Structure formats: C-alpha cells, structure tokens
Amino acid sequence: MVESASPRWLVLDGYEDEPAAFGVPPYVGFHIRYLCGVLEQAKIEYDYVTIDQWRDFIRVEGEDAASARLSNVSGVACIAGAVVPGRYLRGTPISLKETRNIIRQLPAQVPALFGGWAIRGWRQQGWNPLRSNLFLAVQDTDATLSNFLRSGQWKHCRRTAEEWTLWAQSGASSKAVTQHPDLGDEEKKGPLTYEVEVYQGCVRYKRGCKFCIEPKKGIPIWRTPEDIIEEVRLAHEAGVEHVRLGGMTDTYTYMAEGVQELEYPIPNPEPIARLLHGLREDERLGILHTDNGNPSIIAQHLEQSEEITKTLVETLSDGAVLSFGLESADPNVHEANWLNCDAKQLKSAIRLINKHGRGRGSRGLPNLLPGLNFIAGLNGESSATYDLNLNLLHEIRNEGLLLRRINIRQVEGEGFQDIVQKDFNSFKSSVRDNIDGPLLQELFPLGEKLCDVHWETHDGRTRLAAHQTEAHTSKDCHGKAGISFGRQIGAYPILIGVEYHIPLETQSDIIVTGHGARSITGVEINLNHTSVSQKQLEAIPGIGEKTAWKLVSQRAKNIRKNSPSGAYQSPQQWFDATDVDWNDNFAVFFE
Ligand code: SF4
C-alpha cells in the first residue's frame, strides 16, 4: 500500500456492487473514480487504497499502524457499496464494522466523507455515527466532496452534466485506475475491468416497479456516445483493457425516442451503435460487455431491437449477458407491484436474443444470452406464483431457448410480504436441479474449449493475501496438488475449477471435463508430456491416480536411463512404453 510522507487525502475504495454498478475487483467502479476525478481536478494530493489493501496493511502492520496512518491524512473519502457483503472471489466490500473502526481511529479534525448504497442502507437500519467533520452523503458523493473542497462546508449536492463529464474523464486516468492492484503491467496484464456509467434512471420513471429506486431519479439522463468514448480512450491511455458498460437499466432504451410520452419508448439503434462501434475502433479494447435489457421494450419494438441485438453481437465479446428483470410470472404480482414485463413479452425477447446471440465466439462462449431475474417476497405473491415461475422456465427450455443465468433474490422488510419458506425453497431447488443443471451442460458442454481463463485462487473460493505470493504465482507451483479456481474476464463468468495448482494471475485455455452445481471443472490444454505432473495427468478424464503414477514413474526411469534428451517423443509413445492404452481423447490436452 502506498504511504505518503506528507498528509494527503485517502480515497478508500470500499467497492460498490449494484446490478448496474459493478465495483468489486476485478471491476473498478465509476463512483470511486469520480471521487478521484474531483481531487485530480482540484489538484489535491491523494492516495487510492482498496479495502482489501487496507485489510492487508492492518494484518501485516497492526491496528496501531492503521491509526498512525489515519492520523497523517488530510481527509478520507470512501465509497461503501454493499449493505451486507456477500461471498466474493476476489475482494470483499467494506463492512459496517470496518467503517466504524476507521471512523473511530480517525482524528476528530480530519474531514471524512462516506457515500454509496451501504451508507444509505446502514443509516436506514439506524446507524448514526456522531463525530464532527464526518459527512454521510446521500446524493452524489463526488459533488459533495467538490463542494466541501471549495467551501469548507458539508452539504448534500448533485453533480451537473458538465461535472459528470469532467470527473468521469479525470477519474479515467486517476490513481483508482493507475494504482488499482488488478491493472497489472505490460508484462503481466491484470484482469481489471473498467465499469462505465452510460446513463442514469429508467424510462419507467413515471410509474416504475414499486420496489425499485430507479424511478425516483426522474427522467433518464444519458451521456453521449462521444463523451463515453473519450472517457474510455483516457482509460486505455492509463492501461485499461477491458470495459463493461454499466449504469444502464436497459441497453435498448439508451437515447430512446418518446421517453416522456410513451409507456414503451422506441429503441433508437443509432446512438448505441455509435457508442459500441466507437469503442471497438480502439484496438486497445479487450473484453467489452454490457448491462441489463428490458424485455417488454424489446418485445414491443422487435424491429428496432433486432437491429440493436445485431450490433451487440457484432461488437461485444462472447459471454455477454443481458439481464432481464421479469421478477415474477404471476399476473397478480405484476398488478400489485406495477411490474414491467409479462411472460409473453419475455419469451418474445428471449427468442430474439437467442436467434442472434447463441452462436459461440472466440473464447468458446455463446456470444450474447439473456439472464433472468426473479424476486421473491413481492406483494401479491402466493404458492401459485412459484408454480407459474417454474412453468414459464419449463416452457422456455422446452422451446430449446438458452438462458445464461437465473437469479432468484429474496426481499424482505417494509413494503414486502413474508415469504412462505417451504414454497420458496422448493422453487429454488427445482430451478437448480431441473433448469440450471441441464442449462449448464448445454452452455458448457463436455469437451468444449474455453479460452483465456484467469486463475484467481487456490484451494478455496476466496482469494487470500497468500495467493499473491511467489508460492502461488510462480510457475514452479504448476501441476502441484490442490485446486485452482479461475474465471474468464467479463460479466457473470462461470467459475472454473481445475484439480491441480496453476500459477495465479496467469491465463490459460481449458477443456470442460465436468459440471458442478454452479461451476464447471476443466483441464488445461497444451500440457507438455515431458513435464506434466502426476496431478495434471490424474485430472484428465480416463487417467486415474494409479495410471498417472505409472506414467510418471516410467518417464522418470526412462530419463534416468537415457538422460533428458532421451525423453519420449510424444505422449502416445510414452503411454505405449508404459503399457497404458492411448485414447485419442487424450490428444487434446497435450501440446
Ligand atoms: S424496469 Fe427495471 S429499472 Fe425500471 S423501474 Fe422496473 S425494475 Fe426499476
């Protein structure tokens, strides 16, 4: 962690995590960049530190060092994004306890600004810290910081359109990017994915889904394609390769026509094409993915939506997902909650995306598929709701349509109704067993090659500090006993497990060899028969522990007898010499 000699502002990235605002590594969120952009514009010195770096600092140096560090800052600005941090692979958002600790350790005269959804959530739950010079932002944290730097006063503020562009662009090359631990360098590129804010709000702002906060933002405000392309260009200059277009409640209504007059505004294929092609023109762009889609808009305007879908397939990287918020297939729930889309519209939108998006791209993934979101706990729900949801999923599958992911979320508290746990659990397990399982096998069939898997953890699904040490990143660990977990870069990647260690923070290609509940297993291709380890051999389907041991012993004997230059010429020669039947299916795993 970078530490400054003279006091500077500390920008603490507590990670935001919203469906339309990814910010947990490998993503870098836009709100934290805007904060850095404010400081860049004001020419104020600052350090950017992620909450995981802060945790490591405390682990290594101790709480006293953290207090000393905090007593030497000019101010603290933090975005806290997840009210209850869930399970993450690569980084965990700041918790309320950690936030409290930081506030407690901070000297009273040091200004401190905390913003993000977690702050609002914790406040609603009754958190009310008393400390002078502490401000909890409920509007735009960046605009609030800017106002404080100018006036010395804390006040809830909103950014103007000009400030949005200014801070987005200066944030693009700020320390949130250049000092982000996932950026990597020329030699070893990191998986950093740059989340861009395309617009704010929802076209259903007049009568939106009752549980949603988007309509409260009023009429949607779009950023122009040129503004976004320029921001991403600056990010590329700073070393960014991968981008996700976030901040979109619906990709299809970006700059749509009739937003103020129509229930279903008309998608406008031109600006989104200008944006996507404009981004693709820059050869530095790697993976490009997008955000949500509104199936009712697609279904009501199939012609324009087809044009947009073709543009998406042409310009996005494979593995792209358009999340569709159906929430419920029950007409009663629809009526009670002013929901957006019915089952008929949904199926029509899913058919369109499948028609153009189900072909596979260069990394082995379907190009573009819909995801589907359900919410349990909405008013009007009954046991019949779950049957309707399940029937709809079966109808979709019976038509042979693909869904990349089905997300089932429970909501509770004020404004929602109690969930009958038995109904909910049985719905969930039916979906997992009868829908998700077969889908996973169809999306990632056995034998399919998946390219550029980025290896992130060993022996568990959470990245630990130790995983960044030589023992886990150097090529010497390749093939040793254990499990490696990795994902391809992009939105909603499938978790891939391999039954031996692969150096972390490297990438390789795999062949799918098995399916778990929500993950797959694989084995790398391009294994070298002169050095492949027993564990690597064991991971290949059809080679068990005993055979792998026999092969490795025979190879060692042969090398002892004939010196390394006498190693077997091919894997098949090696297998034959060991009296192990060669199977043509093995060939795909070897160089
Ligand atoms: S369509 Fe989506 S973003 Fe708009 S109000 Fe409904 S849930 Fe919210």
How far away, in angstroms, is 326 Cα from ligand 1 center? 10
| CA 313 – CA 352 distance, rounded (Å) | 12
How far away, in angstroms, is 482 Cα from ligand 1 center? 44
Q: Is 548 in the pocket of ligand 1 (CB under 6 A)?
A: no
> Is the distance from CB of 337 to CB of 379 less than 8 angstroms?
yes
- Identify the helix (H) or strand (E) that includes residue 94: none
pLDDT value of residue 212? 87
Give the pLDDT band of residue 419 (cuts 50, 70, 90): confident
pLDDT value of residue 1? 59
Residue where the block lists tokens 């990647």: 493
| CA 477 – CA 398 distance, rounded (Å) | 45
Q: Is 202 in the pocket of ligand 1 (CB under 6 A)?
A: yes
| CA 496 – CA 484 distance, rounded (Å) | 8
Residue of the nearest CA to atom 1 in ligand 1?
340
Burial of 469 (0-12, 13-18, 19+ CB in 10 A): exposed
pLDDT at residue 20 tops 90: no
Q: Which of 18, 198, 202 to mutate to test the pocket of ligand 1 (most atoms within 8 A of CB)?
A: 202
3-state secondary structure of 116: coil
pLDDT value of residue 18? 85
pLDDT value of residue 290? 95
Q: What is the model's pTM? A: 0.95
Q: Which of 18, 206, 214 to mutate to test the pocket of ligand 1 (most atoms within 8 A of CB)?
A: 214
Q: Which residues pair with 307 in a beta bridge?
A: none
Q: Which residues make Cβ contacts (< 8 Å) with residue 215, sequence separation at least 6?
A: 201, 202, 204, 205, 206, 207, 208, 209
How far away, in angstroms, is 212 Cα from ligand 1 center? 6
Tokens coding 54 = 């802060």
pLDDT value of residue 272? 98
pLDDT at residue 459 tops 70: yes
Q: What Å distances lie between residue 127 and 75, 105, 142, 414, CA to CA?
A: 22, 17, 22, 17
pLDDT value of residue 305? 98
How far away, in angstroms, is 318 Cα from ligand 1 center? 26
User: Which of 314, 323, 325 shows the shortest CA–CA distance to 272?
Assistant: 314
How far away, in angstroms, is 214 Cα from ligand 1 center? 6
Phi, psi of 462 (to 5 degrees): -130, 135
Q: What is the mean pLDDT of the chain?
A: 95
Beta strand 507-515 pairing with 495-498: unpaired
| CA 508 – CA 456 distance, rounded (Å) | 12
> Is the distance from CB of 548 to CB of 530 less than 8 angstroms?
no
pLDDT value of residue 411? 87
Average the pLDDT over 331-350 and give the result: 94
**For 281-337, how does the pLDDT look when each residue is reduced to its tens digit (9 = 90+)?**
999 999 999 989 999 999 999 999 999 999 999 999 999 999 999 999 999 999 999
Q: Is 578 in the pocket of ligand 1 (CB under 6 A)?
A: no
pLDDT at residue 428 tops 90: yes
How far away, in angstroms, is 208 Cα from ligand 1 center? 6
**For 47-56, how does the pLDDT look when each residue is reduced to its tens digit (9 = 90+)?**
999 999 999 9
What one-letter code names the amino acid at 439?
L
How far away, in angstroms, is 340 Cα from ligand 1 center? 7
Atom nearest to 203 CA in ligand 1: 4
Average the pLDDT over 377-400 and give the result: 96
| CA 447 – CA 232 distance, rounded (Å) | 36
Give the pLDDT band of residue 455 (cuts 50, 70, 90): very high
**For 209-225, how does the pLDDT look when each residue is reduced to its tens digit (9 = 90+)?**
988 888 888 999 999 99
pLDDT value of residue 414? 79
Residue of the nearest CA to atom 2 in ligand 1?
249
How do the residues of the chain divide into helix, strand and coil, expressed in percent and rounded to 5?
40, 20, 40
> DSSP of 400-453, one letter per residue?
T---SEEEEEE--STTS----HHHHHHHHHHIIIIIIHHHHHHHS-TT-EEEEE
How far away, in angstroms, is 515 Cα from ligand 1 center? 34
Q: Is 375 in the pocket of ligand 1 (CB under 6 A)?
A: no
pLDDT value of residue 5? 65
How far away, in angstroms, is 352 Cα from ligand 1 center? 21
Q: Is 215 in the pocket of ligand 1 (CB under 6 A)?
A: yes
How far away, in angstroms, is 202 Cα from ligand 1 center? 6
Residue of the nearest CA to atom 8 in ligand 1?
212
> Is the distance from CB of 339 to CB of 293 less than 8 angstroms?
no
Residue where the block lists tokens 């000699």: 5
* Segments of 45-95 assigned E as strands: 46-50, 73-80
Residue of the nearest CA to atom 5 in ligand 1?
208
Q: Is 209 in the pocket of ligand 1 (CB under 6 A)?
A: yes
Sheet hosting strand 288-289, strand order edge to edge? 27-28, 193-197, 242-246, 288-289
Residue of the nearest CA to atom 6 in ligand 1?
209
Tokens coding 12 = 């603490």
How far away, in angstroms, is 155 Cα from ligand 1 center? 29
| CA 517 – CA 511 distance, rounded (Å) | 18
